[in-house]
Amino acid sequence: MALALKQQSECLYPGYMICPEFDVVEENGKECIIKYIPSLGVAKRPFSVDGKQINVLIATLVGNLSVKLQEDLESQDAEEKDESSENSVTADQSDDESKVHKVYIVSVKDEKHIGKSVRDDFTNNLPKEGDIVLARVTRISLQRANVEILAVENQRTPIDSGVGSNGSGEVAAGGGSGAATFSVSQVSSDLGETFKGIIRSQDVRATNRDKVKIMDSFKPGDIVRARILSLGDGSNYNLTTARNDLGVVFAKASNGAGGLMYAIDWETMVAPSTGNMELRKCAKPFE
């Protein structure tokens, strides 16, 4: 890594110049070209020095610098070049891109949230395709459930929080040990400022999709853990709960008039004080 980057541990501010787009370092007696890719809180801008234009990365947020090595370098290279280079030895090709040996992802993150499970940087972490979100059911009809998105789960945590994980394991609702962190939307639900979503009846569960009754899956007021299928039509995200770890995670009996209910199986919740049972599409209630 370039020496210049290592020294920047103090707080960056918007407009701060971090590094040029490309850099060359000496590694084992060989010349190694490094490319820096801007990520969250970093933008690529042209910068002229002595009448010469170069691209530099500058910070766009207040925070601390984070530089990560891009893992799948070869696939990244292949994508950028379009035409195939079967042998990964590309050093002797002449153009700049082909000489890139290392790709780093540069981002600026506010570290005041580190160690907290709830973060308020929702605007820097907007719901995108594949994200897990917590949403509240606002309205149901026979074909769909309308929800509003309250929080985005920051990263998917393996069921054992990554300890002894053997591949793509199941993810427990809430990240098992509570290790998942959330970015909580700060906008008002009363004014309709939250992002809206739709869970269609076909997207409620993975099996027997055509027989789903929304009434027996969600009720208004339920908190649902769902995955973003697509950005939808601009006014609504499309969400799905068709996975074991997705579904209702928090619900009160009688549309909120009763007590808190707990999932006892995949499709039933019970209120311990009264013993009344209600039907829901529950998220996996146990690990």
Partner 1 sequence: MVNLIYPGDSISIPERTNVVTGPGIYLDPKSQHLKPINVGIEVIDPSKRVTSVYLDFNSKRYIPSEGDFVIGVITSTFADSYRVSLANFSTAVTLSYMAFPNASKKNRPTLKVGDLLYARVSKANKELEAEIECVDSSTGKDAGYGHLDGGVVVDVSLAFCRELLFNNDFPLLKLIGKRTEFEVAIGLNGKIWIKAADILSTLACYRIILDCEKQPTSQYSEIIKNRFKELANSAD
Enumerate binding residues for partner 1 (CB under 8 A).
Answer: 140-142, 215, 219-220, 253-255, 257-259, 271, 273-274, 276
Provide the minimum distance between the beta carbon of 54 and partner 1 in the complex, in angstroms, as a whole number. Answer: 59
Whether the CA torsion 209, 214, 216, 219 is positive or negative: it is positive
What is the torsion angle, in degrees rounded to the nearest 10, for the CA atoms of residue 118, residue 121, residue 125 and residue 126?
100
Enumerate residues 6+ apart whose C-beta is below 8 A from 258: 252, 271, 273, 274, 276
DSSP helix/strand/coil, 203:
helix
**Beta carbon nearer to partner 1, 8 or 276:** 276
Taking the complex as a whole, the smallest distance from the CB of residue 274 to partner 1 amounts, in Å, to: 6
| Nearest distance, CB of residue 265 and partner 1, angstroms | 21
Closer to partner 1 by Cβ: residue 232 or 258? 258
Structural tokens at position 182: 């959330």
Strands (E), 126-236: 132-140, 144-153, 182-184, 196-200, 223-230
Least distance in Å: CB of 261 to partner 1? 11
Closer Cβ to partner 1, 118 or 215, answer by number? 215
What are the backbone angles phi and psi of residue 278, rounded to the nearest 5°? -135, 155
Q: How far apart are CA 269 and CA 248, in angstroms?
A: 9
Nearer to partner 1 by Cβ, of 112 and 213: the residue is: 213
- Identify the residue whose tokens are 């149901």: 140
Give CA–CA dist 65/108, Å, rounded.
5
CB nearer partner 1, residue 140 or residue 246: 140
Identify the helix (H) or strand (E) that includes residue 27: strand 22-27
Question: What is the nearest approach in angstroms of partner 1 to the Cβ of residue 205?
Answer: 19
Least separation in angstroms between CB 254 and partner 1: 4
Angstrom distance (rounded) from CA 164 to CA 99: 37
Q: How far is the CB of 262 from partner 1 (least distance, A)?
A: 15
Nearer to partner 1, 253 or 263 (CB): 253
Token output for 205? 């569960």
Of 65 and 137, CB closest to partner 1:
137
What DSSP string runs through 64-114?
EEEEEE-S-HHHHHHHHH-S--SSS--TTSSSTGGGEEEEEEEEEE-GGGT
Give the 3-state secondary structure of residue 214: helix
> Which of 55, 255 has the CB closer to partner 1?
255
In the complex, the smallest distance separating the C-beta of residue 279 from partner 1, rounded to whole angstroms, is 12
